[in-house]
Amino acid sequence: MSRYESTRTGLIRLGFTDPQQAKQALGDTPSDIGPLFAHAADPDQALRLYNRLREKAPQEVRELEASTDAAARLIQVLGASHALGDFLERHPDSLGELRSEPGNPPTAAELGERLGASGSVDDLRVRYRRELLRIAVWDLAQGSPIDAIDQVAAALADLAGATLDGALRLARAASRFDAAEVAATRLAIIGMGKAGARELNYVSDVDVIYVAAGDDTVSTDQAVAIATELAKALTAVVSGLAKEAPLWPLDANLRPEGAAGALVRTLESHVAYYERWAQSWEFQALLKARPLAGDRTLGDDYLAAIGPLVWASASRESFVDSVQSMRQRVTDHIPADERDVQLKLGPGGLRDVEFTIQLLQLVHGATDESVRRRDTLAALAALAEGGYIGRSDAQSFALDYRFLRLLEHRLQLAGLTRTHLMPRDPERIRVLARATRLATGAEGLTELWQATRARVRS
């Protein structure tokens, strides 16, 4: 480091909160590396993890230090995510991912090829986290990360789909049923919620519905039995016990009858349920349904059969009231001490944005196919184009939505944990401000957050 930057004032300007400790920790770090910590969300954390990696994988880190850009990418990752730092410490061979300039996030085809080559549960999970690292590196390299939300969320959803395809292959290979019958059993995995809309978080439950079918060589009952075993097995692959930590919960509770219903149904059984018994909120949930993994043709058949029922649901008696009542019940169940810091469910949070857009879609989508869009921002744009919401209101709503999603992404990236709570500690808010590049300090980000909540509530 230069003489100026190694002073207390210089280290504070780089973002270190404990300049004396930082000066000692920098030690024999190459002089051109020190200034790179200014670009880390949490320079203190980045330096601590950087030194751990230098001890654990000295050769790999030295190779990165040979390129200022590569070292900068490593420091950005370590400053934004201690969980990815832990991953790199466990798997230092993955440091090689940081040598090259990040291109665009990987495509669904690329992810499918790389995850599909997994040979075991642990291998699949390591490959998943390596792809997550690639996405995070690209995300953190963006000068305006709020504008990259769509691409990041879509890549994360594609990664979830590729992971489920890889898990399904492993489940088929380990099945106790006759190999020919397993091969003849078709299983479609329908993505719901953010996975279905290609707007997934860094860490989120992946909501799914399972649809099964057989052919002339396997009966319907047998196909459902085999598909049920496969669904349970692939759940264990992504979230069961193994050497590598679980990836995320696989949640099938949006299926007909919820947790009390059959895990896997035929297409005909799904249609019969939605025609006779489904509640209004279930049709709202189906707005985001998309074939995510497994048999795509069967998944497309599911959407074709369910779609007309979704768009006819708004004609039900008291439809709007019932959907609004469901939203109120969600709000009522927020713990009192979380109500004012809930990014997702609280007043002025993400769910208020999504709820408003989905209700408008269901009401107007019955007669206007242009608003039948899965992802939130595309649906909002279509509603504005159709005149169902003012353009200025739509632009403001879109900006608020992106702001809230970026906060959510950065909070979850830090520990790769499923959280939707704004921190209360000023130091953590300062780090979040640096991570989002939306403000220079805790006070500025807090003001933006409060102003956003107020606009969304109004």
Question: 420 and 345 in contact (C-beta within 8 Å)?
Answer: yes
Give the pLDDT score at 4: 38
Predicted local confidence at residue 296, as pLDDT: 97
Average pLDDT on 342-362 reads 93
d(CA 4, CA 455): 44
Task: Inform me whether the pLDDT recorded for 2 exceeds 50.
Answer: no
Q: Which pTM does this prediction carry?
A: 0.95
**pLDDT tens-place string over residues 403-439:** 999 999 999 999 999 999 999 999 999 999 999 999 9
The b-or-e profile of 86-107 (16+ CB within 10 A means b, else e) is ebbbeebebbebbeeebeebbe
**pLDDT tens digits for 28-66?**
888 889 999 999 999 999 999 999 999 999 999 999 999
85 pLDDT exceeds 90?
yes
Q: What is the Cα 352 distance to its own chain's centre?
A: 19
pLDDT one-digit tens code per residue, 99-135: 998 888 999 999 999 999 999 999 999 999 999 999 9
Which residue, 15, 72, 141, 142, is CA-closest to 441?
A: 15
Asked if residue 7 has pLDDT above 80, the reply is: no
Q: Burial level of 62, CB count in 10 A (0-12/13-18/19+)?
A: exposed
Name 61's Cβ contacts closer than 8 Å, sequence gap at least 6: 50, 53, 54, 74, 95
The whole-number pLDDT of residue 295 equals 98
Q: What is the mean pLDDT of residues 212-233?
A: 96
